[in-house]
Chain A
Amino acid sequence: MSAEQTLLFWQYASTGILLLVIGFYCLLVTYNLFRVLIGLELLIKGVTLFLLAAGVISGHSALSQGVIITVIVIEVVVMIVAAGIVLGFQDKFDSLNVKNARELKG
């Protein structure tokens, strides 16, 4: 890797790590089920940025785009199913507080 490529990778990797930190913190600290989804989304954004940087620096942009598209498809399916779970949770407990999940049986 040349010095220019290393610098570019560090810039994007650092931003990706910061996005991962925000996402993890959001997941760890919140009690709101909807905010868990927001945290998860931010984590996926960080991963997408990593993939993009890896593709650009290695010169395999097309391959990285293919992987990013796959990640986006998985992301949207996960979010749709999770949104359904959030609605089910709201129906059952009339709240989005994840502490209520302790009352679930089976």
Chain B
Amino acid sequence: MLNIMLLVLLVLIALWTALTPLLLRAAIGLALTSVVLTIIMFRFNAPYAAAFELSVCAGLIPVIFISVISLTHRLPLKEFLKRREDRLRRFWPLPLLLLAVAAGLFFVRIPLNITLPWPETIADVRVVLWEYRRTYLFGQLMVLLAGVFGVLVLFRGRNENER
């Protein structure tokens, strides 16, 4: 029962994140979504993934988002109200669409004939990452280096524009 409540809460917070007109609230909603996902991960005995989700997705990414929001310009009140109305017009079908999809998923059950693999013999994520899936770590390092390179290129462009 608690699992279902957490799943419903996850969808509701995600919906609120998408619908809220203020970007700051959307960033906070994203952090809350990550927190609920973290609780689900802990309950499913996935503590390493949960720790990553909590520290990075609920901690670092909202901080980056809020920093970006603080560096952007605030709209004048009149324009903000106009855009909010326009947003409402574009976003109102989303809750209805969600309800329709949820009802469809509830009533239409596609039979799943999936053959499950043998249960794992190694239950430690550290052993999996360091011994069996070491290439994942190389990939992660490459992605991190690509990110650093991307940020350097972006900010070099900014400095040149300022000169």
List residues of A whose CB falls within 8 A of some B CB.
1, 5-6, 9-12, 14-15, 17-19, 21-23, 25-26, 29-30, 32, 34-35, 37-39, 41-42, 45, 48-49, 52, 55-70, 72-81, 83-88, 90-91, 94, 96
Contact = CB atoms under 8 A, between A and B. Distances in A.
A61 B45 contact: yes
B49 A74 contact: no
Contact of A66 (B15, B69, B91, B128): B128
Interface string B88-126: 001100100110011001100100111011111011110
A22 B15 CA distance: 7
Contacts of A62: 120, 122-125, 127-128
Nearest to B151: A84
Range for the number of chain B residues in contact with chain A: 35 or more
B136 interface: yes
A18 B100 CA distance: 10
Interface in B138-163: 139-140, 143-144, 146-147, 150-151, 154-155, 157-158, 161
Contacts of B146: 77
B48 interface: yes
Contact of A72 (B56, B105, B161): B56
Contacts of B27: 38
